[in-house]
Structure formats: C-alpha cells, structure tokens
Amino acid sequence: MSTLRDLELRHVIALDAVATEGTFGRAALRLGYTQSAVSQQIAALERIVGGALFDRPGGPKPVTLTPLGHLVLTHARDIIARVDAAGEAVARFQAGDGGRLEIGTFQSVSNMLLPTIVGRLLAEHPALDIRLFEDDEKMDSQRRVEAGELDLTFTVGRPGGVLDSIVLLDDPFVLVAKAGDLAQGPYPTSQLDRVQMVGSPVTSCQQEIEDGLRANNVNPHYVFRTIDNGAQIAMVRAGMGWSVMPLLAVDTRDPGVDIRLLTPPLPPRQICIAWNRQRTLSPCATRAIELAHDAARELRQLAAIA
C-alpha cells in the first residue's frame, strides 16, 4: 500500500490545476503537459491517498472534487505555497538579499575597515542579517570559522589548516606623538630608547611591537597600557607619552597627533580575510570578500603618510 511519503510535488500541482481549471484538458494546457500525463498524475495520487479525488461526469462537463479531494487539495495548496515561498527565499539568498552573515573581527579592523564593508553590504542588501564577533587575540574567531560558526574572519597573517585567505593590506607600525612633537619625515627607531610610551597590554600585536623595538636595541618605558586604541591616542594627544601602533589603528586625519613612519621600520602586520575552504560560501560572504578587497585598497590610498 502506498503512503503519503510516496507523494511527489508533480501530483499536488496536477491536483491544483485540475481543481482550478475544471477539466483535465484545460489543466494540461495550463501545465504544458499532455492530458494523459495529467490523468496519470491524478491516478497516482488517488492510489497514494486510497480514494477518488474527482467525480467525473464524462463528456465536456467539468469534474468536481470529492470530499476526499477537498481535504487533499487544502493540504496540497499549503504544500505548493510552502514550495513557492522556499523558491522565493532561495532566489533572495542567491541574490544576496536574505540570510545571515557572521564575521570575526578585531578592534582596528572594526574601527577603520569594517564599517565601509558593512555599509556597502547593507546598501546592496538591506534585509541581510549581519553579525560581528570581535576578538582582539584573533585565535577564537579562527577556530569559529573552522567550526562553521562564522562565515569569515579577519586575521593578522595568513592562517593555515582548513582556512583559505587573501591578503588585504600590509599594515605598518607607526610612531604617534602629540601634535608638534615631531619633525617632518621618518623618525629614527633607535631614538625611542627610554622614551615614555603609551601602549596596550601584551597582546600578540603589542608583543610584535616590543619585539621589533628590542631588535633595534630600544627599551621603551611604558607609563600607561590600555586595550582601547582610542584611549591610547587620547593619552598621546594629552602629552602623556608617544605610542607605536599599527597604522590601521590610527586616524590619520586627527589634528591632535603627529604620525610618522619609523626608520628602520618594524615588520608590518599583514591583514587578511579568511574562510573555511571546506565549506561553501554564501553569495553574501563572497560579496563581503570582494568589498573587503575594495575597501582595503581605498584605505591604503587614504592612509598614506609622509
């Protein structure tokens, strides 16, 4: 005996067409089938549900639904509506107009790069649900991309394993001082020895800075440490000390500070965007990567310093 699990979408579409048009012939024209094909679909459905769905008076008279036919048609139209809704949702998803996009980020990217990307994504796809996860140590977000909990993440350096990535920009470390403290041109790294400095706790980024300074025989004297890039800049602006920071963490338009390249330079950070190569990216995730590349190029042009 057949069960409703043997039901196929073509069966319910044929039922709806015959019920709407009144004859098998007009239903066939509507669907682009032969009349015998429509008859076969209805016969198959009647075997599945175990009874007649139409009373057939014969000749040109229209067919009419049986009580069982009315019952099955109600559910059939619900099925068709759900399938149509799913089709619309898939079309919106493929066009990037729906769904969720989850991105891992860190502070300097959140401040300087990500707003442009998010703004452009939402301008193109207002219904997109964007979720951001900030992790200044960056490893947790990489693990979450590996586990499929995030679609994309920004990284420092190209990660390995199952993560694929593209390089967006090289982010140099620069000297930030109170406006008027520095002459024009690059600042000698060696002259930072014993200078009062503002920095962050020893995160991976701060460790790179301090290792780079020590490689140049510089032993900076830190008088204030904070994880907040904005607070670091505020203390520099107030004259508490100078700071060596990634350029991406600094607003180059800030009139309250001088920003200079170092000579010799510390090895720059390499800012990348990464995804799990073993998982299929959504159209919006693919678009976010494209926008990240564009935004990084524009930022490189805007952030040029002497």
pLDDT band with cut points at 50, 70 and 90 for residue 96 = low
The CATH number assigned to the domain holding 189 equals: 3.40.190.290
Q: What pLDDT digit, counting tens, does each position of 217-243 carry?
A: 999 899 999 999 999 999 999 999 999
Domain total of the chain: 3
Q: Are residues 275 and 212 in the same domain?
A: no
**In terms of domains, do 220 and 160 share one?**
no
Confidence bin at 306 (pLDDT 50/70/90): very low
Per-residue confidence (pLDDT) for residue 97, from 0 to 100: 63
**Parent domain of 211:** 173-267
Same domain, 225 and 89: no
Nearest Cα neighbor of 108 from 251, 303, 210 is 251
Q: 106 near 93, Cβ under 8 Å?
A: no
- Residue 173: which H helix or E strand, with range? strand 173-178
CATH code: domain of residue 19: 1.10.10.10
CB atoms within 10 A of CB 244: 25
> What CA–CA distance (Å, rounded) separates 45 from 13?
11
One domain, residues 280 and 166: yes
239 and 105 co-located in one domain: no
| Same domain? 108 vs 77 | no
Give the domain CATH number at 109: 3.40.190.10
The C-alpha atoms of residue 144 and residue 162 are separated, in whole angstroms, by 12
pLDDT digits (tens, 9 = 90+) for 113-169: 999 999 999 999 898 999 999 987 668 899 999 999 999 999 999 998 999 999 999
Residue 61 token pair:
């008279």
